[in-house]
Amino acid sequence: MWKALLFRHSRPWQLISALTGTGLGLLLLLSSVQIYLNISEYLNGGDINQPRYMVINKRVNMLNTLFGGQKGFSSEELENLKKIKGIRNAAGLTSSQFKVNMSMEDMGMEGIPQLQTELFFESVPAAFADNSITDFHWAPGDSIIPVVLPRDYIKLYNFGFAPSQGLPQLTESMVGLATFRIRLKGPKGQANFKGKLAGFTERVNSILVPQTFLDAMNSQLSGIESGKAKVSRVILECEGTMTGDLHEYFTENGYETGEDALRNAKLSALLKSIMSFLVFIGAVIVLISLLGFVLYAQLVINRSTYEIETLSRLGVTSREMITAYLVYYGKLMIGLLVLAIASTWIISSWFAHYLKGKGFEIDGGISIGVLVMSVLFVAGYWLLQGISIVRSIRKIAV
Partner 1 sequence: MEIRFEQVLPAPLVDSPLSDQSCWNTSFALPAGSYVSVTAPSGTGKSTLLSIIYGLRHDYSGTVFLEGENIRLLGHEKYCEWRKNRLSMVFQELRLFPQLSAKDNVMLKLSLTNSIEEARVDEWFEALGLGNKMKQSCGTLSLGQQQRVALIRALVQPFSWLLLDEPFSHLDESNSHKAIELIRQRLEENKAGLLVTGLGNNKYFEYTKHISV
Residues of this chain that interact with partner 1 (CB under 8 A) are 1-2, 5, 8, 307, 309-310, 312-319, 397-398
**What is the nearest approach in angstroms of partner 1 to the Cβ of residue 392?**
15
Round to whole Å and give the CA distance between 268 and 156.
28
| Gap between the terminal Cα atoms of the chain | 21
Distance between CA 329 and CA 71 in Å, rounded? 68
Count the neighbouring beta carbons within 10 Å of the beta carbon of residue 314: 8
| 3-class DSSP assignment, residue 186 | strand
Q: How far is the CB of 395 from partner 1 (least distance, A)?
A: 12
**In the complex with partner 1, which residue's Cβ is closer, 251 or 317?**
317
Q: Which of 33, 19, 21, 30 is nearest to 374 (CA)?
A: 30
Identify the CA nearest to 287 among candidates 18, 25, 35.
25
CB of 382 to partner 1, least distance (A): 23
Q: Are 358 and 42 in contact (CB under 8 A)?
A: no
Q: Which is nearer to partner 1, 75 or 317 (CB)?
A: 317
CB-nearer residue toward partner 1: 165 or 317: 317
Spatial contact of 27 and 340, defined as CB atoms under 8 Å apart: yes
Residue 155 or 319 having the CB closest to partner 1: 319
Q: How far is the CB of 393 from partner 1 (least distance, A)?
A: 10
Work out how close the CB of 328 gets to partner 1 at its nearest, in angstroms, rounded to a whole number. Answer: 18
Cβ proximity to partner 1: between 134 and 317 the closer is 317
Q: Say if residue 260 is exposed, middle or buried (CB neighbours under 10 Å; 0-12, 13-18, 19+).
A: exposed
Is the CB of 220 or the CB of 310 nearer to partner 1? 310
Can you tell me whether residue 26 is helix, strand or coil? helix
**Taking the complex as a whole, how short is the minimal distance between the CB of residue 309 and partner 1, in angstroms?**
8
